[in-house]
Amino acid sequence: CQQLFCSPLGTSRAIRPMLKRGHPCDGDTPVKAKQHRRVASTPQEEVSLEPEEGLQHSRSAQHEEIRSLPDSNNQELIGDFSKAHLLPTVKGKDPSLKYISPDTLVAVLSGQWSSFIESSITVDCRYPYEYEGGHIKGAVNLPLQQDVEQFLLDQPILSLDTSKRVIIIFHCEFSAHRGPKMCRFLREKDRSCHEYPQLHYPELYVLKGGYRDFFLQYPTHCEPQDYRPMEHGAFQEELRQFRCQSR
């Protein structure tokens, strides 16, 4: 009897506090004694309790399924599960992230999505000497995690029009390591600030191919119109210093 009424719902982290407040498992209480008599009286009465318990199991399973949804390429909803991703995505190295092509970024920068986007922020995660040697017009240089926290989380950029979106697009030189890593970092920090699944920035993207591919295809959208690689021979000391800071 205790197994029947001390439901396995107690194993759900999301619902356990409610159970502690509202459903004490005390076999000597009048309520428990009444439940015991109902179950023990006839098989018909025992069966009559099953649909309610089944409904509770179903709700618990659905709740746990929502909580366990990964931010993956197979999940087409944005991070707070409120709507689908706006921008068309392409396959990338990390299946947990959403990648867009240089063509899509140019469309965003050109205002082709302005009726749906209130604000788009392109985050250049390369080191400052790379950024100064050539970057996407309008991109902000945030090479370190503390830079991202200060710029995006200390005073979050929120949409004043609830029908429009704020999107963040990360990239580095190739979008193979630094850009994706910073994208995951922002999502993790954003999650820690909210009750699940709410987020300041539910819609994050990574520019596939990074600055290199973007510059090769759209140099007129870069300033200055140049490309300085991370391994540039004249900036080895700066590279060493920033790698130490990144660790």
Active-site annotation holder among 172, 183, 193, 244: 172
Question: Domain with 130 in it: what CATH number?
Answer: 3.40.250.10
CA distances from 55 to 9, 52, 158, 196, 221 (A): 11, 5, 38, 23, 56
How high is the pLDDT of residue 73? 41
Three-class HEC string of 16-84: HHHHHHHCCCCCCCHHHHHHHHHHHHCHHHHHHCHHHHHHHHHHHHHHHHHHCCCCCCCCCECCCCCCE
Contacts of residue 169, Cβ cutoff 8 Å, sequence gap at least 6: 100, 105, 108, 120, 121, 122, 123, 204, 205, 206, 207
> Which of 30-34, 53-57, 184-188: highest mean pLDDT?
184-188
Per the structure block, which two tokens stand in for 5? 């009424």
Overall domain count for the chain: 1
**pLDDT digits 0-9 by tens, 138-157:** 999 999 999 999 999 999 99
> Region 61-84: what's the mean pLDDT?
64
Band of the pLDDT at 68, cuts 50, 70, 90?
very low
Banded model confidence at residue 7, pLDDT cuts 50, 70, 90: very low
Overall average pLDDT of the 179-204 stretch: 97
Report the percentage of the chain scoring pLDDT > 70: 70
> Is a pLDDT exceeding 90 seen at residue 47?
no
pLDDT at residue 161 greater than cutoff 50: yes
Sign of CA dihedral 65, 66, 67, 68: positive
Residue 231 lies in a domain: yes
Mean pLDDT of 57-61: 49
Residue 11 has pLDDT above 80, yes or no: no
| Cβ–Cβ < 8 Å for 223, 134 | yes
Residue 56 falls inside a structural domain? no
Q: Helices 210-217 and 102-109, interaxial angle, to 10°? A: 70
> Average pLDDT, stretch 64-81?
62
1 catalytic? Reply is no
Whether 167 has a pLDDT exceeding 60, the answer reads yes
Select from 127, 141, 135, 124 the least CA-distant residue to 241.
127
The pTM (predicted TM-score) of the whole model is: 0.71
Q: For residue 39, tell me if it sits in a domain.
A: no
Residue 239 domain-assigned (yes or no):
yes
Residue 41 in domain: no
Q: Residue range 86-95: average pLDDT?
A: 96
Q: How would you classify the pairing of strands 222-223 and 135-136?
A: antiparallel
Q: 202 lies in a domain?
A: yes
Give pLDDT tens digits for 97-147. Answer: 999 999 999 999 999 999 999 999 999 999 999 999 999 999 999 999 999
- pLDDT band for position 15 (cuts 50, 70, 90): very low
Q: Which domain holds residue 183?
A: 89-246
Whether 206 is covered by a domain: the verdict is yes
Query: Residue 147 in contact with residue 128, Cβ under 8 Å?
Result: no
Whether 158 is covered by a domain: the verdict is: yes
Of the ranges 39-48, 98-107, 196-205, which one carries the lowest mean pLDDT score?
39-48
With CA atoms as reference, report the closest residue to 124 among 96, 98, 104, 105.
105
Instruction: Tell me the residue type at 187.
Output: R
